[in-house]
A and B are shown apart, each in its own frame.
Chain A
């Protein structure tokens, strides 16, 4: 399926791709055998765009994120970062490139060092960027904190003193500190209340408008995907089952799995049918053949 659907990036010259993933495969060792978490996945992320990967737990979407930031080494395939393959690049060679790809993590409570102040957290990557003067680092950290919509009084406070949404803003500021070309947001708003989620998505959109930053959004939430991305990849069991412009994939999904995902997603304002039964019957209608969705989880 992925071979027949061209990404909009496919028509662009290679230099305009921040990220190009080719035939990525990741195996995990399980007991004495292996589990293929990501199976021959290819996609492109054009500069300045937002591409989303959507799927349910265990589909491999976070494994892709980890491979792209090289928190793990893929089994095979290529990860081209501005044309340079980092898939199996040795650590020493990779180090100067790490700043180019930054990640915003899911858990705003677990991803910030509780001992550090917001200023320390944001300033740490600045040292790696080679800013030697402490004064300059402080000025830059203040600028970043301001960019993510936090008051300057936030600088001296520690993570425990912030709400989940504020912490996620600090996480974004920390990621921006390395001047990345690509920001990987792995379920960056899943732990937040809907109103806070809307604010964080707005912030990400504002930053993109101002700086032209590129995003790879990893999410299980179709609504978040629709509000944030222009292009979406739908994953199931380690494979991309469908990809295309977000609006098209959500209004006329072609793959049975995408249709099941769409049928099960609840939008209180536009959903029809007032009973779970309506959703279940829609689900069963679109479920992949011989594989009723509701029984899929039975082991």
Chain B
């Protein structure tokens, strides 16, 4: 049963240079408990797709067409109904944790606000729920963190707070826009692990927007490769990474700096796409 069903979604942006079709007829669906990644380079339209689906693009500058069914509501044609779902059935985990939170309000105040989207509750209940959420995202000594301001926490911890806020409303869909791009790699693994653990427990569907093929490979079930507003290739994660069909995906994979094998990890023996032997890539990169 699909949580999100997108059919023929197009988004046109009004810019000073004219109308740009940033998203050009994409279709995809996400089931409960599934993670679907849209990967692409800057300007490919991946973030516009996510923001369009959340109706976070300004109405006078972005024209959305097509269909996107979420929780029985068509996001495209029923914006008023959808406004009630945003922050309830669907939540966003933004990219930059440092700027996503208000610098002048405490973590507790901002997390509490997200919790109250679900409905009013007593102060004591609210506090209890906030502590529970911070524990769920494995933040140490949550009691103390609630009283802190964003600048007093590290980037990884702030990202955990944002995940807690997104989960506060028990959403059916999480949209994660580059949730780990601003973080160090050793912190990234923990955040992705946390997301997957929460997904296992709550069966939330995740739409992951990323430019990082490694991240996409690690968390997603399906990958859509986006370029110039269109999906150039879609498929199961193994298929995309190990047997890319289109030249663009092959080039993208070939451009990722190779790390090679190391002694801390068993050798990967599955047949893997090898840029060096692919004919289409001659001269793409040494």
| Chain A contact residues, CB within 8 Å of chain B | 56-57, 164, 193-198, 201-202, 205, 220-224, 226-227, 247, 250-253, 259-277, 279-280, 282-283, 285-286, 293-299
Contacts and interface: CB of A to CB of B under 8 A. Distances in A.
B196 A270 contact: no
Contact of A267 (B140, B214, B252, B254): B214
Interface string B32-58: 000000000110000000000000000
Contacts of B259: 222-223, 226, 250, 262, 265, 267, 270
B252 A194 contact: yes
Contacts of A285: 264
Nearest to A225: B257
B226 to A, nearest CB: 13
A282 B140 contact: no
Interface in B196-217: 196-197, 211-217
A268 B156 CA distance: 23
14 contacts: A194-B256, A202-B286, A222-B257, A222-B259, A223-B258, A250-B262, A267-B257, A268-B213, A268-B253, A271-B214, A277-B196, A277-B197, A283-B189, A298-B140
B190 interface: yes
A195 B264 contact: no
Contacts of A294: 186-187, 189-190
A226 B185 contact: no
Contacts of A226: 257-260
Contacts of A222: 257, 259
Given A56-B185, A271-B268, A279-B193, A253 B257 contact: no
Interface residues of B, number: 57
A297 B189 contact: no
A228 to B, nearest CB: 9
The secondary-structure label for the interface of chain A is helix
Contact of B186 (A194, A247, A250, A261): A261
Contact of A293 (B186, B261, B268, B272): B186
Contacts of A266: 185, 212, 214-215, 217-218
B253 A259 contact: no
B262 A261 contact: no
Interface string B158-199: 000000000000000000000000001111111011011100
Given A293-B186, A297-B154, A267 B256 contact: yes
A282 B272 contact: no
B125 interface: no
A202 B283 CA distance: 11
A227 B255 CA distance: 11
B184 A220 contact: yes
B285 A202 contact: yes
Given A195-B41, A269-B241, A282-B264, 11 more contacts: A56-B186, A223-B258, A226-B260, A247-B260, A250-B260, A253-B262, A262-B264, A267-B256, A276-B219, A279-B192, A298-B140
B181 to A, nearest CB: 10
Contacts of B275: 269
Contact of A295 (B140, B184, B188, B255): B140
A62 to B, nearest CB: 14
Contact of B261 (A221, A251, A265): A251
Contact of A264 (B188, B195, B217, B272): B188
B154 to A, nearest CB: 4
A224 B256 CA distance: 9
B40 to A, nearest CB: 9
A194 B41 contact: yes
A55 B253 CA distance: 24
A222 to B, nearest CB: 6
B265 A297 contact: no
Contacts of A273: 265
Contacts of B216: 268
A253 to B, nearest CB: 7
A247 to B, nearest CB: 8
Given A223-B256, A297-B154, A272 B262 contact: no
Contacts of A164: 42
A280 B220 CA distance: 17
B277 to A, nearest CB: 13
Contacts of B267: 272
Contacts of A267: 214, 256-260
B153 interface: yes
Contacts of A293: 186, 190
A247 B213 CA distance: 23
B152 interface: yes
A250 B188 CA distance: 19
A281 to B, nearest CB: 9
Contacts of B213: 194, 268
A21 to B, nearest CB: 24
Given A195-B252, A276-B196, A263 B41 contact: no
For the complex of A and B, the 9 pairs showing the least CB-CB separation, nearest first, are A266-B214, A223-B257, A276-B193, A276-B192, A267-B259, A193-B41, A268-B213, A56-B184, A264-B185
